[in-house]
Amino acid sequence: MPNSRNRLRNAGIGLALVLAATTSGLSAELGAKDEPIKLAMLEWTGAHVSTHIAGQLLEKLGYKVEYVTAGNFPQFSGLADGTLSASVEVWMNNVGDIYPKTLAAKQIEDIGKLDLKTQEGWIYPKFMEKICPGLPDWTALNKPECIQALSTPETAPNGRFLDYPADWGSRAATILADNTMQYTAVPAGSEGALVAELEASEAAKSPLVMMFWGPHYALAENEVGWITMPPCKVQSNDHCITPPDVDKIVWSGFGAKWPAAYAFLKTFKMDATEQQKLMLAVDKQGKDLDAVVKEWVDKNETVWKPWVDAAK
């Protein structure tokens, strides 16, 4: 029976090689699992929610995660050189010149949409419709009584337009200039300052027009109107405001270094309604971000399990 024994021995060796190769492939799928994936933490709570959900699910896959505070524009330098690994909620209408440059240089990779249903534009507390008849049409802002109502010592004789924080970039100022509107765009100090002004305006019935976006918990607690925007003078992100896409961006070496994490982030999505609920819990109810996200993860396995399974 020597030939039979040889055949069995060879078959055993072949099976061992297959199993070794398969096991090696499974272990390599996670990639550099002992090196932390550094996720960009941007300035707004919605991004904190999206990022921490992604982070907790990456940890379930077996990765280490670090959350790194990053500015909206500065994040691209970090993503380009690999000091940041990924940014999961990048609003594409506010990426400046650095995004297309780093993308063209293949220093970063856009891995698809977050599928976050967004709103962005100029808003006002609903009582403003009595002060500026004709709202929500943008031309109502040009009426002298409206400009006067919105004028402040800081901006007179112009009306005051409350804009995004300076480091977010300003399209509002450009659009006001494009349409020769008698307004001065004044940057808010932070997201919190924007919300505080909206709440104060609502409480005191003081005139306010401002740049804002959704999803945001403040929209669930304050009745606002969205201004019908003036026509774009130039078709570009700097001169137009439309509900933006929200993308996921990674360092160009991400997929090779963390293959399963890469597959997961490509499928990862964020529902705007769900995000807004979590934002409300964090920002208004004072709950801990990690605890709020963990509760959501624990209750929504049917939502995220397909993303994790796809990565495996």
> Residue 271, exposed/middle/buried by CB under 10 A (0-12, 13-18, 19+)?
middle
Q: Could you name the CATH architecture of 31-116+245-311?
A: 3-Layer(aba) Sandwich (3.40)
- Which two three-digit tokens encode residue 203? 């409480």
Which of helix, strand or coil describes residue 268?
Answer: coil
pLDDT digits (tens, 9 = 90+) for 146-161: 999 999 999 999 999 9
What is the residue extent of each domain of the chain?
31-116+245-311, 119-226
**Residue 204, C-beta contacts closer than 8 angstroms, at least 6 positions apart:** none
Digit-coded pLDDT (tens) for 9-67? 444 444 444 333 343 343 349 999 999 999 999 988 999 999 999 999 999 999 999 99
Is there a contact between 250 and 263 (Cβ–Cβ < 8 Å)? no
The answer to whether the 31-116+245-311 and 119-226 domains have the same CATH topology is yes
> What is the structure's pLDDT at 93?
80
Task: Provide the H-helix boundaries in 69-166.
Answer: 75-81, 98-104, 128-131, 144-150
Beta bridge partners of 250: 86, 109
Contacts 24+ apart (CB under 8 A), 309-312: 310/263, 310/264, 310/267, 311/61, 311/260, 311/261, 311/263, 311/264, 311/267, 312/29, 312/61, 312/260
- Cα 149 to its chain centre, rounded Å, is 34
pTM of the predicted model as reported, rounded to 2 decimal places: 0.71
Tell me whether strands 119-125 and 210-214 are parallel, antiparallel or unpaired: antiparallel
pLDDT by position in tens, the chain (length 312):
334 444 444 444 444 443 333 433 433 499 999 999 999 999 889 999 999 999 999 999 999 999 999 998 999 999 999 999 999 999 988 888 899 999 999 999 999 999 999 999 999 999 999 999 999 999 999 999 999 999 999 999 999 999 999 988 888 999 999 999 999 999 999 988 999 999 999 999 999 999 998 999 998 888 999 999 998 888 887 888 888 899 999 999 999 999 999 999 999 999 998 998 999 999 989 999 999 999 999 999 999 999 999 898
Looking at CATH, the fold of the domain delimited by 119-226 is given as D-Maltodextrin-Binding Protein; domain 2 (3.40.190)
pLDDT of residue 151: 98
The pairing of strands 159-163 and 183-187 is parallel
* Contact (Cβ atoms closer than 8 angstroms) between residue 164 and residue 73: no
2 within 8 A of 232, measured Cβ to Cβ: no
